[in-house]
Chains A and B, each alone.
Chain A
Amino acid sequence: MNWSKFFSMDGYGFYVWGSYVLALVAMCGEVLQVVRRKKMLKRQPQNFSK
């Protein structure tokens, strides 16, 4: 397995790896946002009523 060739992707490395990194950042960001929101809501006082 030629690692250097794999990483450079024939010179298109920036585009290919850039896309996947962006996707990873977007998805992790979304997951973090929603998990944090759930944690904050669970931590609120339990006998809250309108």
Chain B
Amino acid sequence: MSLNWYRYASPGKFYPVASKMIPWFATAAAILFIIGLYVGLFLAPRDFQQGEAYRVLFIHVPAAWMGMLLYILMAIYAGIGWAFNARLSSMMASSLSITGAMFTFLSLVTGSMWGKPTWGTWWVWDARTTSTLILLFLYIGFVSLQSAIDDPRRADRAGAVLALVGVINVPIIYYSVQWWNTLHQGATIRIVDKPTIAAPMLAAMLIMLAACWLYSIAVVLTRLCCAIIERERGVGWREEALTR
């Protein structure tokens, strides 16, 4: 059976699929959060240097990664929506923006909560914190620009330009700890080598990351469904789908 994936590029066809998937992702996210917190708070041992304070990292690191990943995804979807004139792609970019901003804000705040007991200060202007703050401003700029433009297609394309111009910031955040001397430590989770942290800690980090990932999918898809409903007014399938 050959499946024509392109039919799902139409908002009308994608809506029922997305609607059905949301509860599954939400449930999976909730389960993984519970498991991740259990492993992170109960099973993982104390850190040799930082004591119990390091447990903040189990939410700080996934939040930071999600902030960066969602921005890249947002830029990609916005670019595709612009290049191929695909409305659904642009709607996806707009849906990603708020969740990405939330995670970036969360990473800054939990970063402060981690910084105070370990470095002794709530905030420091090193390369990584500064570029993460820029990332938050970029998200806010994206959302503000789109809400200031009335014509939805102009808003989509203008947002795409802004998102793509700002995407250079994400590699800067990631590599800033290598390029500058900062208070942030280097990467402890490498893809190829053995990681340098203990197994339960690594497991908790990865489970929490997966949980945040699934949470993001659920929330972004819900927002995407809202955008589809709003923008596809007066189209026949909508009435039928909504009354079901």
A–B interface present (Cβ within 8 A): yes
Interface residues of A (CB under 8 A from B): 6, 9-10, 12, 15-16, 18-20, 22-23, 26-27, 30-31, 34-35, 37-38, 41-42, 46-50
| Total interface residues in chain B, CB < 8 Å | 35
- B239 at the A/B interface (Cβ < 8 Å)? yes
Bound form: Cα–Cα A36–B176 in Å: 39
Q: What are the residues of chain B within 8 A of A6 when measuring CB–CB?
A: 41
The 6 A-B residue pairs whose C-beta atoms are closest, nearest first, are: A49-B234, A9-B52, A12-B53, A10-B52, A19-B110, A19-B113
A-B interface contact total, Cβ < 8 Å: 77
Among B60, B106, B234, B242, point to the contact of A50 (Cβ < 8 A).
B234
Closest to A40 in B: B226
Closest to B101 in A: A30
Known contacts A6-B41, A10-B53, A37-B226; 15 further A-B pairs (Cβ under 8 A): A10-B46, A15-B114, A15-B117, A16-B52, A19-B110, A19-B114, A23-B106, A23-B110, A30-B219, A31-B219, A38-B226, A38-B229, A41-B229, A41-B230, A48-B234
Bound form: Cα–Cα A37–B14 in Å: 19
Bound form: Cα–Cα A18–B55 in Å: 11
- B105 at the A/B interface (Cβ < 8 Å)? yes
- Mostly helix, strand, loop or mixed at chain B's interface? helix
Q: What are the residues of chain B within 8 A of A12 when measuring CB–CB?
A: 51-53, 117
CB distance from B108 to the nearest CB of A (A): 11
Are B242 and A46 interface neighbours, CB within 8 A? Answer: yes
Among B98, B106, B113, point to the contact of A15 (Cβ < 8 A).
B113
Bound form: Cα–Cα A50–B152 in Å: 14
CB distance from B31 to the nearest CB of A (A): 15
Are A41 and B59 interface neighbours, CB within 8 A? Answer: no
